[in-house]
Amino acid sequence: MALSVYMVDVFGAGSFSGNPLAVVVGADGLPTGEMQRMTRWFNLSETAFLLSPTHPEADYRVRIFTLEREMPFAGHPTLGSCHAWLAAGNRPKKAGEIAQECGAGLVAIRRDGERLSFAAPALIRSGAPSPDELAEARELLGIASSDVVDAAWIDNGPGWLGIRLASAQEVLSLTPARSWPGRIDVGVVGPHAPGGDAAVEVRAFFSDHLGSIVEDPVTGSLNASVAQWLFATGAVEEAYVAAQGTCLGRKGRVHISRDETGQVWVGGEARVHVEGRLQGI
C-alpha cells in the first residue's frame, strides 16, 4: 500500500519556525495499531491521518495520534491536516469554509488568504483546580504559589491545566522538571509589554509515554483554551497574537480573534516542506 505523506510546518512566522506535523493522506485502510506505530516512527509530537468523512457535512475526517495515544482534537494537527488536504487538490463543499470531522465532532475552519483559522471547541473541563492539582503543577514548573496570578482547567481534549503568570519574562524563565511519574499537561501564559508583535507568551509542557517532560513548540489546542479563558476572565478584550516556541528556537505566532457571536478563532500560517509517498505499508 502506497500512501501520500506531507510534512507541514504549522503556526510558524517563517519557514521551519513552527510545529512540524506529518499528515498521511488516504489512510482509510490503516488499522489503529498501524497508525500508532507510524506515529512513533515519525517521532513528532503528533501525526494526522486523513480519511473519508462519515458525517454528511464534513469535507474530510482526521485521526490524530501522539506518541502515546489517539487524541479527539488537537490544534496544530487541525490546521496542518486542512492545509495538506487542500494541497492535495481537494475543495470544500462550502466556499471559504472547511468542515473537519474528528473525535471531538465537527470543527469549522476558515481560510483567509494564506492563513487558516479553526473555531475553538468547547471546553470539556473547566473551573479551578484543587489545591493538590495546583500544587502538582507548581512543582512541575518550579514556582511558588505567590507566582500564580490565576489557574484553571482549560481542557478541550488534551487535558490542559492553565497557569497564568504576571509577565512573559516569568514564562520564559521557567525551568520545569525533566521527568514526571504520571500523566500531566500544563500550559502557561503571561503578558508581554505593549508594543511588540505578540501580546502574550505561551509555553506547553506535557509528559510523554516514557515519563519525560516535553515542551511543545506551538500548541493550537492550548492557545484555543487559553484564549477562551483570557476572554472569559477579562484578561484580554481584543484580538491578539500569542508567541510560543521561543525557548526552543522557534518563532510560533498564533492569531486569536473573537467574532460577534463570541466564538474564538485560532489562526496561523501553514507550509508544506516535504511531499512524497510512503512505501512498504
**Catalytic (active site) residue 238:** no
Structure-block grid coordinates of residue 109 = 475552519
User: Could you tell me where the beta strands, DSSP code E, fall in 53-207?
Assistant: 60-65, 70-71, 97-102, 105-112, 115-119, 150-153, 161-164, 185-191, 200-207
Structure-block grid coordinates of residue 251 = 518563532
Element (H, E) at 49: strand 47-51
> Residue 67, Cβ neighbours under 10 Å: how many?
18
Name 8's Cβ contacts closer than 8 Å, sequence gap at least 6: 20, 21, 22, 23, 80, 83, 84, 270, 271, 272, 273
Amino acid letter, residue 76: H
**Pseudo-torsion of CA 18, 251, 204, 259, nearest 10°?**
-80
Pick the catalytic residue from 34, 46, 136, 269. 46
For helices 220-233 and 75-87, what crossing angle results, to 10°?
130
Distance from C-alpha of 169 to C-alpha of 6, rounded to nearest angstrom? 35
Q: Are 70 and 36 in contact (CB under 8 A)?
A: yes
**Pseudo-torsion of CA 141, 79, 109, 230, nearest 10°?**
20
Q: What angle do CA 247, 251, 257 make, to 5 degrees?
A: 115
Residues involved in catalysis: 46
